[in-house]
Amino acid sequence: MIDIKLIRTNPELVKENIKKKFQDEKLVLVDEVVAFDKEFREAKTRGDYLRGQRNAVSKQIGGFMAKGDKAAAEEAKKQVADIAAELLALEKREEVLQEEIRKRMLVIPNIIDDSVPIGKDDSENVEVERFGDPYVPPFEIPYHVDIMESLDGIDLDSARRTSGNGFYYLTGDIARLHSAILSYARDFMIDRGFTYCIPPFMIRSEVVTGVMSFAEMENMMYKIEGEDLYLIGTSEHSMIGRFMNTILPENTLPKTLTSYSPCFRKEVGAHGIEERGVYRIHQFEKQEMIVICKPEESPAWFVKLYTNTVDFFRTLDIPVRTLECCSGDLADLKVKSLDVEAWSPRQKKYFEVGSCSNLGDAQARRLGIRIKGADGNYFAHTLNNTVVAPPRMLIAFLENNLNEDGSVRIPVALRPYMGGKEVIKKA
């Protein structure tokens, strides 16, 4: 949510930003906010005037009574009653106007960073850099589910019976590999100075609307029936919500946190074969990074966060690239976003394994997360990034570490978490 002062003083800039995001249907919202805000401020001014009048007339009543001028006293009382009635109507109108303004402000997209490439959708995202050499071995690489099944590591049929499509059972060494990667990711981030957290896995609606757009919520979140609770789609939701309505002293910043959680997502829509299996699923686990910092520090933290993910994947012998998200691919709260994509030797292309986002002060403004500075309080900036999200990440891991005989290499960094195993072999 942007600062309403920006809409008051520079509505054309806000409209130009909407056009850059190819959301022209939202242009009318800016004019509506300007009109509602003008009426709201006029109502506030009128209300302040009436309160002053009411106080002045109320003081006169006692004087009239002391003088025995009952007629004047009664006339003054009538004036006070008329003022009170008008004030009540004004206050109700102010509430309506505030709600109308907020509804529109929650939908107007955040101002994107000047460095964001302009494009309509993810097909116009821009490659930034590659890390590691994308390699295709001289033997055929099976579909990732087939690799897992050959290692007795996955049971999709049973999961469909118990839970439906988009769920899975992981077993044996593949299940152990899944847990090992998460444990390694936890320690990797702790070693980089982040504080480890395990957050609540359900959050209230006011937190949901504070951390994401309505469109994202509708497409992602599972609601608990009969409760004001939603299952989280990522631990970023509850981690940012932790600081709701708080004032953080400058000397306590930045907050650098890494959190583990299961994640639950609707994942609306149909997908091709490569997005079946464990690519696009309703439940998965993730290690996340979250930073809350001063506004001037957020660009540098953005780079640090995605660099952590690149470094993590390279320690597991997985080539990756970074992809700058274009304006049309940015969620409404984001100022800037960059995807980390892993190389798939089977598909001979990269696919997304993590996303790094700078949300500016959008979440902080919605949730009331302020910083106490020497010259007063101001809104914090929030950032988040995926460290790793298995089991999707297992696709890249298995394909890039597969041997011709069907066994899977365990990179050196991961071996302590796999009980010293150097390879996963077929039974």
Residue numbers annotated as active site: 265, 280, 352, 355, 392
The answer to whether the beta carbons of residues 201 and 262 sit under 8 Å apart is: yes
Q: Would you say 291 and 257 are in contact if contact means Cβ atoms under 8 Å apart?
A: yes
Nearest to 386 by CA among 359, 415, 357: 357
Cβ(313)–Cβ(130) below 8 Å? no
d(CA 95, CA 389): 43
Helices and strands in the chain, H and E counts: 13, 18
CA distance 80 to 183: 69
In residues, how long is the chain?
427
In three-state secondary structure terms, 423 is strand
Query: What phi and psi values does residue 154 have, to the nearest 5 degrees?
Result: -150, 145
User: What pairing do the DSSP bridges indicate for beta strands 154-155 and 376-379?
Assistant: unpaired
- Name the nearest CA neighbour of 15 among 109, 117, 107: 109
List, in sequence order, every beta strand (DSSP E) within 316-395. Answer: 320-324, 336-344, 349-358, 369-373, 376-379, 381-388
Buried b / exposed e along 76-91 (16+ C-beta atoms within 10 A): beebbeebeeebeebe
Measured in degrees and rounded to the nearest 5, phi and psi for residue 382 equal -125, 145
Do 293 and 383 contact (CB within 8 A), yes or no? yes
Burial class for 281, CB neighbours closer than 10 Å (0-12, 13-18, 19+)? buried
> For residues 269 and 352, what is the distance between their CA atoms, to the nearest angstrom?
17
CB 128 within 8 A of CB 338: yes
